[in-house]
Chains A and B, each alone.
Chain A
Amino acid sequence: MRRGWGALAFAAALTMTATPLTAQEKTGNKPGFTLAPGTVTIVLMRPEIAVGAQSTGGAYEPNADWTDQARENLGKALAEAQGRLGNRVITHVEPVGQGAAVAHEYRALFTALADSVQTYQFFPGNRLPTKKRDDSFLWSIGSEVASLPGVQGADYALFVTTEDHYGSTGRKLLQVFAAGVAGIGVSSGVHKGYAGLIDLKTGDLVWLNADLAMGGDVRTPEGAAKRVAQLLEGFPGKPVEAPVTSVATKTAAR
């Protein structure tokens, strides 16, 4: 009996993921930031897209076809959505040579920044006390981002990241079996994404929208359109935006 504890713990760690039942979607705005539609130029950086399957044991299985489809569909959906953002959106042209290293570093830096916002401010688990206050959405990537090759002529940079692990048949079977027979909760599928806006003059993060349970099947054009609509929810200054839902704009709960 006692011999199995270690194995049980290890196996449990492999199969169960802790998904918070509340607060899986959050938007942050820099205090006092407004964006009048039709006034600025936004440069869209290359989205980070990863689509694959989730094995029975919870491991990520990359799928090249799905990722290519998603990249194509999301690209088209983002292009269509730009009209509804109320501002001019241009696509970032990847620099070659020396500038490419800087562009790569800024992409990695933005990912680190967005992860920090989600871990330390948005979602319960490890939030910093100073970041739980109402006006505490103060994050920056540094003002030198203005010298990044390819962003000259734009006022803001839009970064988009989305990650999908579609649960395999075995995973779904395990989920049903575990719930029915053993009474253990097993999650199936991971659909995370976030989008953020950086002010290129100051490097400040003026808006970030993160969602740990996104909808829309990015492998299809309709699903990609739905995904983009969710990613850009709460985008500042959208001209035809209906009042955003209370989930998106509520301040951090104590």
Chain B
Amino acid sequence: MAGWMIAAALAGAALGADASDRLAPLPPYGTAYTPTTVDERGLWQQADEAERDLRDSPAVIRDAALNAYIGKVLCRSVGEDRCRGVRVYVVRAPYFNAFMAPNGMMIVWTGALLRLRDEAELASVLGHEFGHFEMRHGLKTFRRGRTIGDIIAWTSVISPYSTLPVSLIQLHFSYSRAQETEADLMGLRYLTAAGYRPLAASRIWERLMAEEDATALGRKRRVTHHYSAGFFADHPTELARATYLRETAGADGERGDEARDAFLTAMRPWRATFLADQIKRNDFGGSEYLLGELATGHWTSDLLLTRGELYRERGNPRDLVSAAQFYQQAIDAGCTDPIAWRGLGPSLLRGQQAAAGRAALKTYLEKAPAASDRAAMAMLIGEGGVQ
């Protein structure tokens, strides 16, 4: 009982009640900002060292066209003067996530690029991350964590049986969730100001929840979506975010650009790569859902090929029959990748269709004479294995 009051008093004094709703007009933004306080300069230097490592990492996609497109969307979303202080790195990781470092380094994972549907959604993700940077959330979290750690250290010596530490830790996480909400709303403000469709922000979370459901179904598990996050959650739940973003978008939420074609054109050269990474995750339900979302009723050859790979990977007897069908459909739709025949062959062979399977593998060997698995595939069709 007493602990609560002490926590509130100390929190109010030490941390400052800074979680006000910042929907007021944004302050003027200076392009060449350099930090001045010891804490912020230290964090920027740490982030600079991390960026130095990231810059050289093989996981970063350095394609000029893709980076130019994402930079263009960021600048349209947050404004030319703001986007100049930010460097975006596209990192090859098949999960939905994006990060912002205190020094202006932004990281977007390729799983996010695969799951986003149009430019408005990309703008909302980039705007959210920029919101963290503009409001200096990294610095605030660092200071808050330090103050809480200090109070807990003294408490453990002065009053070891107090529950004040528990209250303070809960405060830390709820402030973190509040910062995420603040960044969400900032992203929404940027989205609206730039002329994008506001409802795009909430749609991301709705589809992520649907994907989670599909993943759970595929693994024979249950998923419940909650409004309130757990004790240690540093982000609000997806359901909460979808709800408040939809509500804040308001009645005019449908009005605005989504620029779907521009987004798809920019992502097209990379879609096969991102899909190949996705189906390696051993997430049948989620990958099926994603493929269905990408197809939207119109199955292109690359999506059919990926679907065939996915089914062949799971490899249940009925899956191999389905996989063979998908590979054949991909070939009929004009697929020229030898992988299609490489997948079709073993799927048919396992389905007791020896002649058709051998023919498909023969075609694969003709199309890819320098393949690394040539010997193994040749052995499958009785043409002798090791050279």
* A182 interface hit (Cβ, 8 Å): yes
The smallest beta-carbon distance between B186 and chain A, in angstroms, is 26
* B384 interface hit (Cβ, 8 Å): no
Chain A interface main SS type: helix
Q: List chain B residues, Cβ under 8 A from A61.
A: 38-39, 42, 146
Give chain A interface residues in 12-70, CB to chain B under 8 Å: 12, 14-15, 52, 55-59, 61-65, 67-68
Given A14-B149, A100-B56, A174 and B157 contact (CB-CB distance below 8 Å): yes
Bound Cα distance A177, B43 (Å): 30
Bound Cα distance A220, B116 (Å): 52
**In the complex, per-residue mask of A69-107: 1 if CB is within 8 Å of any chain B CB, else 0:** 000000000000000000000000000000011011100
Contact A15 B156 (CB under 8 A): yes
Bound Cα distance A182, B157 (Å): 6
* A243 interface hit (Cβ, 8 Å): no
Interface size on A, residues (CB 8 A): 38
Contact A57 B146 (CB under 8 A): yes
* B45 interface hit (Cβ, 8 Å): yes
Given A10-B169, A57-B146, A62-B42, A174 and B154 contact (CB-CB distance below 8 Å): yes
The smallest beta-carbon distance between A50 and chain B, in angstroms, is 8
**Closest B residue by C-beta to A63:** B42
Contact B149 A4 (CB under 8 A): no
Bound Cα distance A8, B161 (Å): 6
* A170 interface hit (Cβ, 8 Å): yes
**Closest B residue by C-beta to A183:** B157
Contact of B152 among A11, A64, A101, A186 (CB under 8 A): A11
Chain B interface main SS type: helix
Contact A57 B152 (CB under 8 A): yes
The smallest beta-carbon distance between B297 and chain A, in angstroms, is 41
**In the complex, per-residue mask of B40-61: 1 if CB is within 8 Å of any chain A CB, else 0:** 0111111000000101111000
Bound Cα distance A55, B147 (Å): 9
Q: List chain A residues, Cβ under 8 A from B163.
A: 3-4, 7
Contact B165 A11 (CB under 8 A): yes
Contact of B154 among A56, A59, A104 (CB under 8 A): A56
Bound Cα distance A191, B43 (Å): 20
Given A56-B149, A62-B45, A64-B44, A104 and B57 contact (CB-CB distance below 8 Å): yes
The smallest beta-carbon distance between B64 and chain A, in angstroms, is 14
Bound Cα distance A132, B311 (Å): 50
Q: List chain A residues, Cβ under 8 A from B150.
A: 55-57, 170
Cβ contacts A to B, 7 pairs, < 8 Å:
A1-B161, A11-B153, A11-B160, A57-B146, A61-B39, A101-B57, A184-B157
Additional A-B contacts beyond A56-B150, A56-B153, A181-B157 (19; CB < 8 A):
A1-B161, A3-B163, A4-B162, A4-B163, A7-B156, A7-B163, A14-B152, A56-B154, A57-B150, A57-B153, A59-B149, A62-B46, A63-B41, A64-B44, A64-B45, A65-B38, A101-B57, A108-B53, A174-B153
